[in-house]
Amino acid sequence: MQLMHNGLKDLLLINQYIPEKKIGFLSLETPLPSLLKKFTESLPNYSLGLQVRREYRHISMGLRSLKFKDIDTLFIFEIYNQHLLFVLPLLASTGKDVFISLHGNQQFAINSRIKFLGLIYLKNYLQLFKNLKVVLFEIDDDVIPEKFRLPAASKVIIPHPIISDATPKLKPGERLPANTKIKIGVVGMIRQDKPIGTLIEKLQEYIASSNSGCELIIGTPFGQKPDYLDKIEATLYDTTKENDYINVLKQIDILVIHYEKDRYYYRTSGVISDAGSCGCYIIASDYPVINHQVNWPLQIGSTFAHFNEIGSLIDQAINHIREKGQDNHWIWREQRSAEAIAKLLFPKNHD
């Protein structure tokens, strides 16, 4: 199955920990009919074509849900609030228990009227159909305004899953040699909601003024790489392919990442989850969900509210790595495994 967010693929392993349940998984990532693809690409407005393709994918996913005959539970990997009109009746009509993963939909509804209306529509369905549940990542939605929250009885909270086949490079009890150069990294697509220009400047200033002997690593898809990155003192890696992206994370000791508050205040970061899986100590924006990601069940990072905090947080991170290695990461992983998440989704099967 192809997923929009590959960092969630470990959820596909849940089945093996709930043998008494038969779970079917559905994703929006389905091939488009060639005629539909050509039609939408011929439209003069790209956004209109994109929305038509997404609407088709939602309806297609809903129709596929009706074909599952030998399962009792459906897990929906992703939806868009603005495309729920037809898919929700189809999901509700299956009569099966349905878990709907929301990702950042509540966050996006705060600044988009059409996505807010979709959220209201979803809330009504949750109240009418008790077989529909939403899956929230990391924490409850009580940190956002009440009108964007979902009915308490319809919510299931799980941690963002790890990547089980990516592990920390240091085993429990292992430590970096004292003379090892610490690698500080910035990884991911460089787009508007991930403004890293100022962040990179701060990291360069820290490395130039510090005696810690650190080096800067930047991993980003080269097809979208801004030209200015070629002019700074850093080692650049192309992360277009997933394997290259994971390999870069495995090299990095400290990942530093910043997001815009309007897009990530109540939303998980896939990069943070991937980096934690690989053993990176994480320094990230101080938002409720991200704070939980890097501090539960044990600290594997820290958060900042202002850029001028980054230098001191890097110093703390280096001390943490020297003293604790990646021991906390191994414990952090246990609570985010498919087995642990299965117990949260199906608590009655683990009494």
Q: Are strands 155-158 and 254-257 parallel, antiparallel or unpaired?
A: unpaired
Same domain for 142 and 36?
yes
The answer on 211 and 124 residing in a single domain is no
CA distance 119 to 88: 12
Domain assignment present for 178:
no
Any domain includes 167: no
Query: What is the model's pLDDT at position 190?
Result: 67
Q: How many domains does the chain have?
A: 2
In a domain, 1, yes or no: no
Token duo for residue 123: 């809330």
**Residues 342 and 325 grouped into a single domain:** no
Would residue 303 count as lying in a domain? yes
**Pair (200, 86) in one structural domain:** no
pLDDT given at position 44: 92
Asked if residue 172 is part of any domain, the answer here is no
Same domain, 136 and 221: no
∠ CA(72), CA(74), CA(77), 5° rounding? 165
Position 102 in a domain = yes
* Domain span including residue 237: 183-334
For residues 94 and 202, state if they share a domain. Answer: no
Pair (22, 132) in one structural domain: yes
What is the full per-residue pLDDT of the chain (351 aa) written as tens digits? Answer: 788 888 899 999 999 999 999 999 999 999 999 999 999 999 999 999 999 999 999 999 999 999 998 999 999 999 999 999 999 999 999 999 999 998 889 999 999 999 999 999 999 999 999 999 999 999 999 999 999 999 999 999 999 999 999 999 999 999 998 888 999 999 977 665 556 778 888 999 999 988 878 999 999 899 888 888 888 889 999 999 989 999 999 999 999 999 989 999 999 999 999 999 999 999 999 999 999 999 999 999 999 999 999 999 999 999 999 999 999 999 999 999 999 999 999 998 766
176 domain residue, yes or no: no
Cα–Cα distance measured from residue 248 to residue 58, given in angstroms and rounded to the nearest whole number: 34
Model-level pTM?
0.92
119 and 94 within one domain = yes
What are the tokens at 276? Answer: 């934690």
- The answer to whether residues 111 and 189 belong to one domain is no
- Burial tier of 7 (Cβ tally within 10 Å: 0-12, 13-18, 19+): buried
Q: Is residue 170 part of a domain?
A: no
Angle separating helix axes 270-277 and 327-334, nearest 10 degrees: 120
